A and B are shown apart, each in its own frame.
Chain A
C-alpha cells in the first residue's frame, strides 16, 4: 500500500461547480498535512495546511480525520484558474520529509 493515496482523477467540471478531492495516508504517526497545487510544467506550491478542526480559505475547505487517516479538499464555485493538479502531502514533522501523493488533476471547463 502506498503511503499517500489520492483519487485517480482526472476531474472535469464546469465553472461554478463544487468538487471534492480525497486522500488517505497509511502512517498513523503523521503530524502535518497539506494540500499543494501544481500547474502544468511548474513546481508545486503550497495551497493550504490541513488541521484537525478543519480550515477554510476563501472557496477552499480542507478537512482532516485522524481516526480514519483521511484528508479532503473541497473547492466551491470552481474557476477556470483552478485547473491544476492537487497534491496531498503528509509528514511526520513540520517542515521535514514530506510524502507526496500522486496527485489528482482538475480541469474546470467553460
Chain B
C-alpha cells in the first residue's frame, strides 16, 4: 500500500551512540517532516523539508540533523544520543494544496 514507511520501529540506544532514522514515502510528496511526541507535550516539529536537497529547522532541532538527498527519503540523525531524546518519532509527508498529512507508524526510541 502507498504511504509513509519508517524504519526501525523500535530501538534502544546507549547515551552517546549515534543512529539514523529512515523515512520513505512513495506518493511523490514535496514536503516531509520529522516530529517527536512526548507525554503531555503533543507533537513537536524537529526538522522539515520542502523539497529534495532542502531542509529547515523546526521547533526543537537541537541534537538532530536531517538530509533529503532523494525526494522520497528523509533521514533523521542523532549524532550523540541523550536520554532526553527518548521519545516516539513520527515522520509525515504532504503536498501543497492537499488536505492533511500522511504519517508513518512511528519509531519508539529509548536512550539509556
| Residues of A participating in the B interface, judged by any CB pair closer than 8 Å | 32, 34, 41-46, 49, 87, 93-98, 100-103
Contact = CB atoms under 8 A, between A and B. Distances in A.
B105 A95 contact: no
Contacts of A32: 99
B42 A94 contact: no
Interface string B63-83: 000000000000000000000
Interface of B: 31, 35, 40-43, 45, 48, 50, 90, 94-101, 103-106
Contact of A43 (B40, B95, B97, B105): B105
13 contacts: A43-B104, A43-B105, A44-B43, A44-B103, A46-B99, A46-B100, A95-B31, A95-B94, A95-B95, A95-B97, A95-B98, A100-B42, A102-B40
A34 B99 CA distance: 9
Closest 10 CB pairs of A and B: A102-B42, A43-B103, A46-B100, A100-B43, A95-B98, A95-B94, A95-B96, A100-B42, A94-B97, A43-B105
Contacts, number: 51
Nearest to B105: A43
Nearest to A34: B100
